[in-house]
Amino acid sequence: MKYPFYTISQPVVGSEAKKIADAIKTGGYIANEAAIATAKRIAERRKLREETDATKR
């Protein structure tokens, strides 16, 4: 994904940095409920599209 030229990365500090460090140490991940819901919708749409396309062959 390409970002616009005006995007500036910021350092992660405080509690967010602690969450990221803990996730890395335990092999986990960080995500919020909205992100998980969006990913599930995308996966379901792709699955449905593949099933529909497979039946047309």
Name residue 9's amino acid.
S
Closest C-alpha to 31, from 46, 20, 44? 20
Predicted TM-score (pTM) of this structure: 0.47
The pLDDT value recorded for residue 27 is: 92
Is the residue at 8 inside a domain?
no
Identify whether 53 is part of a domain. yes
Q: Which residues contact 20 (CB under 8 A, 6 or more apart)?
A: 12, 30
Task: Give domain status of residue 17, yes or no.
Answer: no
Q: How many domains would you assign to the chain?
A: 1
CA distance 10 to 56: 48
* Structural domain boundaries enclosing 46: 33-57
Neighbours of 19 (CB within 10 A): 13
Q: Mean pLDDT of residues grouped by 10 in the chain (57 residues)? A: 69 86 90 87 91 71
What is the pLDDT at residue 41? 93
Residue 14 lies in a domain: no
- What type of residue is 30? I
Q: What pLDDT score was predicted for residue 16?
A: 86
Say what the pLDDT of residue 32 is: 84
- Whole-number Å distance between alpha carbons of 34 and 31: 8
Whether 20 maps to a domain, the answer reads no
